[in-house]
Amino acid sequence: MTLYWLAGLFATLLILALAGYAALLWRRVAQQQKARQQQQAERQQRLAGDLQIIAGCLLDEQMPWIEGCIRLKVLLDHYDASLSCSAPFAVLHTVHAEVADVPSHQAWKDLPSRERKAHEQRFRELELQHKIAVRQAVLHLQQQLAARA
């Protein structure tokens, strides 16, 4: 009989210890989820700020038009992919696709002058073709960002 009591007591203590450990693990998971959500919110805030800066620079013509379009498209993809794919921003995807084959950074510098000039001519043509639509997309983006703030 004493053996049964000891076994029952041991089983009860084991169950309590496992329940305590399970509660500890659940608390850790909840803390990790909260930290992840906070990191995601901070990331979204940083991206929104970056989008505002690039949008403002593009509208004020403080950066090359093509560069602004590319940066906005990429940042918008990271900020909110579904927003990025919406109709007002299709022009950013169009411009990005048109210049996707253009070398960048050192590869751009290494291009012969003739090729660089050809690309720059293409950039000017794209700007003439899409500038109004890009401006409208940027203004729409600024409205969206302000509404989410």
Residue 102 lies in a domain: yes
Tens-digit pLDDT string for the chain (149 aa): 788 899 999 999 999 999 999 999 999 999 999 999 999 999 999 999 999 999 999 999 999 999 999 999 999 999 999 999 999 999 999 999 999 999 989 999 999 999 999 999 999 999 999 999 999 999 999 999 999 87
> Domain count of the chain?
1
Which residues does 75 contact at the CB level (< 8 Å), separation at least 6?
47, 50, 51, 54
Residue 31 within any structural domain of the chain:
no
- Domain membership of residue 55 (yes or no) is yes
User: Helix (H, G, I), strand (E, B), or coil: what is residue 128?
Assistant: helix
Please give the model's pTM, rounded to 2 decimal places.
Answer: 0.82
